[in-house]
Structure 1
Amino acid sequence: MEQAETLEDFYERKFEWIPDSLRKDIGHFNVFQLDPYVGKNAKPVPYRRRDYHKITFLRGNGRVHYADKIVEVQKQALVFSNPLIPYKWENTQEVQGGMFCIFNQHFFQNYTNLNQYSVFQPTGIHIFELTDNQADFVVSIFQKMLQEINSEYIYKYDVLKTQVMELLHFAMKSQTSTQLDKVKVNSSQRISALFLELLERQFPIEEIQQAIPYRSASEYAEQLNIHVNHLNRAVKEVTDKTTSQWISERILQEAKNLLRHTSWTIAQIADSLGFQEPTHFNNFFKKYSAQTPSRFRSA
């Protein structure tokens, strides 16, 4: 299987350009009409993981390969994709149209943890067949998203978050969801989901005296009551990243948030992120961002 597609890969594949927000390493959200990418203009979507979340509404017949299941969409459906489960679309020429939005976990920083919702969990239902009335409701939300993202309203991304959550809760409350999408979740997927949930639970850091309790793969393995080698194998198998990569990337993301949005000293930030010495934090930050914390803060 190919490596997980990043947001950068998505934009290069679809548009041959990358938004500035991705280059600035901030939360990202966007919404699109599906119509230009169906019918004779449809392009094959390879079976692979994506390292971002996606919510898709589509009209028409289609086939979704989702983990180890194949789900037939008869008329119209709402589909939730997440970084843990690979998927691909088939028969895209029979899809008549639709809309989709993409976003990363960072977009919901300090708002909610997406991993807690069943539509983004390996064991949850991800594909929802819709009635005509339900489809009209979903379309209205996507249309609001399109209108909002093109507005000049300074808080439009707050509004977009609430609209994503409206779709999410609509799906979870839906009584007509298909049962074909009950994915056989293997132990590696369960372990990876539990690890990522535990990792995300350590954040955000909101007070100086607060400190993350777990810094190493072995500490997470101990909390999950499994051997560290078992954890490492499972996470690598499911996500194509090592446990240490996930931990380091999440700590780096939080470090950038604290440097950018607080007046804490670098020593205080280092301590809250579990570094025994500020020099260890400086070395870590420079290794993964190619600049010192001081330079990042002053940029």
Structure 2
Amino acid sequence: MRTLSEYNTELKLKGFNVFQIEEDANATRLYSRKDFYKICLTTGKSKIHYAERSYKTEGTILFFGNPHIPYSWETLSTKYKGYTVLFSETFLSPKNRSENLQQSPLFKIGGTPVLEITEKQRQFLNSIFQKMIEEQQSDYEYKADLIRNYINLILHESLKLKPSENFNQNKNAAERLTNVFMELLERQFPVESPDKPLQLTTANDYAKNLSVHVNYLNRSVKEVTGKTTTAHISTRVISEAKAILQHTDWNISEIAFALGFEYPTYFNNFFKKHTGVNPSSLRA
């Protein structure tokens, strides 16, 4: 069994890793969403929280994780099996394919990150994952190219299932603007360093960036989502604050600055207002 540092080293050096979940169950938790796209082929009951949506799954599914979108996974089955492949943008596309990835119905914000898979499809996809594992362990000089082709094959087989039919197309100007706002909001995260704080923190900031009047942005977002622009921003900042509190050793002052608060007191008050508890309580 390889250690956490060995897994991370392999990812940093090669830009990918593939493994069988039933053998390396804890490995799915080793990788930060900040760096890697993820494709999981799994069989079992689970609940997936993806951006602002949740999916309850049973049977075999394909899941597509985008490093620019927050997600979490609750395994509900006592028995759970499958495969996971993780890859960086530069590994899959040295020639700037990443923009296409982010616009794909499989990875796009508002797209379809979960596909139900039949038994016949599962067997075929199993064989692809098994081939990737074999190549990863081989000495073949061009194994990275071959694995890249296998990943693209999975993506194309998934697109043939027409995931775009399951996702809402923009029907008017308000929906188009709201969609762009939500994408821009997600692109501000994750916050990777206290030295690189959020640049857009208010509805006015987003309106200026999108070259629209703030009233028009607010009206559009409220019409489409039922929530205000500020509410979406606050929800996302709280989500990021919780992740930073739970997964880093940054102090409260650093977290406050990183999330765009001038003083730690402002951050403490904001966090307690939205969660009912003080930030430090998450580290107790």
Structure 2 Cα separation of the partners of residues 186 and 94 of structure 1: 38
CA distance in 2, matches of 1:176, 1:84: 19
Output the CA distance in 2 between the equivalents of 1:192 and 1:146: 36
TM-score (norm 2): 0.55
Q: Which amino acid aligns with 1:85?
A: I
From the superposition, tell whether residues 119 and 44 of structure 1 become closer, same or farther in structure 2 (CA, over 3 Å): closer
Q: RMSD across aligned C-alpha pairs, in angstroms?
A: 4.4
Q: Is the 8 A contact 1:62 1:94 kept in 2?
A: no
* 1:127–1:178 contact (8 Å) kept in structure 2: no
**For 1:146 and 1:190, how far apart are their aligned partners in 2?**
34
Q: 2:62 aligns with which of 74, 78, 84?
A: 78
1:59 aligns with 2:43: yes
AA partner of residue 191 (structure 1): L
> How far has the Cα of 1:115 moved from its partner?
2.1
- Residue 118 of structure 1 aligns to a residue in which SS? coil
The runs of 5 or more residues in structure 2 that have no matched partner are 170-174, 190-198, 200-205, 218-231, 241-284
CA distance in structure 1 between the aligned counterparts of 2:28 and 2:19, rounded to whole angstroms: 18
Q: Which residue of 2 aligns with 1:96?
A: 80
SS at match of 1:36: coil
Separation (CA, whole Å) in 2 of partners of 1:151 and 1:117? 31
Is 2:110–2:168's contact at 8 Å kept on the other side of the alignment? no
What's the CA shift string for 1:199-239, capped at 9, x where partnerless? xxxxxxxxxxxxxxxxxx9xxx9997437x99xx97xx589
Distance (whole Å) between structure 2 residues aligned to residue 168 and residue 16 of structure 1 = 29
**Structure 1 position 90, deviation (Å):** 1.1
Displacement after TM superposition at 1:112 (Å): 2.6
C-alpha deviations, 1:42-81, integer Å up to 9, x for none? 69969x8443111001011111111122211110100000
Cα distance in structure 2, aligned partners of 1:44 and 1:145: 17
Alpha-carbon distance in 2 for matches of 1:33, 1:164: 15
Q: What residue number does 2:182 align with?
A: 189
1:172 corresponds to: 159
3-state DSSP of counterpart to 1:163: helix
- How many residues matched? 196
Shift of 1:27: 5.1
Q: TM-score scaled by structure 1? A: 0.53
Paired residues of 1:35 and 1:97 also in contact (CA < 8 A): yes
Q: Equivalent of 1:153, from 140, 152, 173? A: 140
How far apart are the structure 2 equivalents of 1:186 and 1:226? 15
Matched-pair contact (CA < 8 Å) for 2:43–2:60:
yes
Partner of 1:163: 150
> Separation in 1 of the partners of 2:142 and 2:208?
39
Q: 1 CA distance for matches of 2:121 and 2:164?
A: 11
Q: Match of 2:146, as an amino acid?
A: V
SS of residue paired to 1:119: coil
1:60–1:75 Cα contact (<8 Å) kept: yes
The whole-number CA distance in structure 1 between the counterparts of 2:7 and 2:24 is: 18
Partner in structure 1 of residue 20 of structure 2: 33
